[in-house]
Amino acid sequence: MTDDIRATLGLRPIINVSGTMTSLGASIVPPEVVAAVAAVLPQFVEIDDLQKKASAVIARLCDTEAGFVTASCSAAISLAVAGAMTGSDLAAIERLPDTTGLKDEVLIQVGHMVSYGAPVTQGIAMTGAKVVPVGQATSARRYQLEGAVTDRTAAAVYVVSHHVVQFGQIPLDEFVAVCHARGVPVIVDAASEYDLRFFLATGADIALYSSHKFLGGPTGGIVAGRKALVRAAYLQNGGIGRGMKVGKEGMVGTIAALQAWETRDHAGIRARETASLALWTEALADRPGVTATLEPDPTCNPLDRLKVHVDPGQAHITAWDLADALASGPRPVIVRDHEIEHGFFYLDPCNLHPGEDAIVAARLSEELDRARRSNDIIATPLEHRRNRRVAAAQRWPD
């Protein structure tokens, strides 16, 4: 912590047990990736050639035909959808978001219409495409997908995420079969997935990833898949993609992150994460009103999180007040709190520097001890917390 740039910038030295969150700076970029980024920044490169190199690395790791680097997975969604509409027609690419004369309908299951910080449907629609919802929030069936295809269908988007409804949806293999039977390409948003091959191997035409999530790259995204569709997406850089431009540092950083991924000691990392989870489980054992259970990742990434359920009657604090207390003080600990209204949060062990897990354990003990000593139950109305967060966003930069 000696030369922590955050102190120079006047920023709080947060500890991230939330996950690979854009709002927290995504992930820890390993030294070899940092070195690659630093090495290219002072040099000129021919960008199309650099992206060809990226294509070869992406194709090898994803076991597919081609790929390129984008500014983000969110950008990749827009570029891939745009490419499915225009193909390699440069005039059509320059006309977007005017889609006159193009197939412009894009199918997506309602249960997949989530927000990852911005709505996925907006990433589709900003190309000029028309979003066509399939099914209902908690149920989508084959006949509904079949019935949604028209002669104007350009593509279908399939989202893999802990955010999507995890039941009642059409599985990817069936989704692909229905779409392919009608000549509709399938684009899979796999932004936060470890597995670089599964979705393409299941038949998706394009798979999209974030560079800055599990891969530990700089901010960026990856488009991978069938060559003609990848090329059509790439050519959008001369159109709507210009405002989503990724630089040489993002390309080189993503290539380096992919190479580091190949040689990464995945088992060693898993073992460290398991040790952190055990440390926290021990710190939370035998505490009145606190139940800690290990939970596997909902989309089958090789990762467990600790689910911490808090009963305010016994712990003398609500889950959300505990989360806020942990997020205060000299070493703020930011927990994973998407579902906090159910009275629990998660501790995610995959973004820690050495020794931070012990600080998290100490902070948990400290705040839970403090709450137990309180005569009142610390219980802020949940809507106050939500509204406070919205109000803070609306006040930015004040």
Chain residues binding ligand PLP by CB under 6 A are 22, 72-74, 116, 159, 161, 189, 191-192, 210, 221
Of the two residues 113 and 371, which places its CB atom closer to ligand PLP in the complex? 113
Least distance to ligand PLP from the beta carbon of 70, Å? 8
In terms of phi and psi (left: phi > 0; alpha: psi -120 to 50; beta: otherwise), the region of 270 is alpha
Instruction: Report the b/e string of 124-140 with b at 16+ CB within 10 A.
Output: bbbbbbebbbbbeeeeb
Q: Cα(265)–Cα(267) distance, rounded to whole angstroms?
A: 6
Do 246 and 210 form a contact (C-beta atoms < 8 A)?
no
Least distance to ligand PLP from the beta carbon of 20, Å? 8
Pairing mode, strands 221-225 and 290-296 = unpaired
Instruction: Give the list of residues 6+ apart from residue 100 with CB closer than 8 angstroms, or none.
Output: none
Of the two residues 108 and 159, which places its CB atom closer to ligand PLP in the complex? 159
Least distance to ligand PLP from the beta carbon of 122, Å? 11
Of the two residues 137 and 278, which places its CB atom closer to ligand PLP in the complex? 137
Least distance to ligand PLP from the beta carbon of 380, Å? 29
Least distance to ligand PLP from the beta carbon of 176, Å? 18
Least distance to ligand PLP from the beta carbon of 218, Å? 11
Instruction: Give the list of residues 6+ apart from residue 76 with CB closer than 8 angstroms, or none.
Output: 70, 208, 209, 221, 222, 223, 233
* Among 355, 255, 274, residue whose Cα is nearest residue 1: 355
Taken in order 43, 49, 54, 56, the sign of the CA dihedral is negative
Q: How far is CA 224 from the centre of its chain?
A: 16
Of the two residues 64 and 192, which places its CB atom closer to ligand PLP in the complex? 192
Of the two residues 116 and 344, which places its CB atom closer to ligand PLP in the complex? 116
Of the two residues 112 and 363, which places its CB atom closer to ligand PLP in the complex? 112
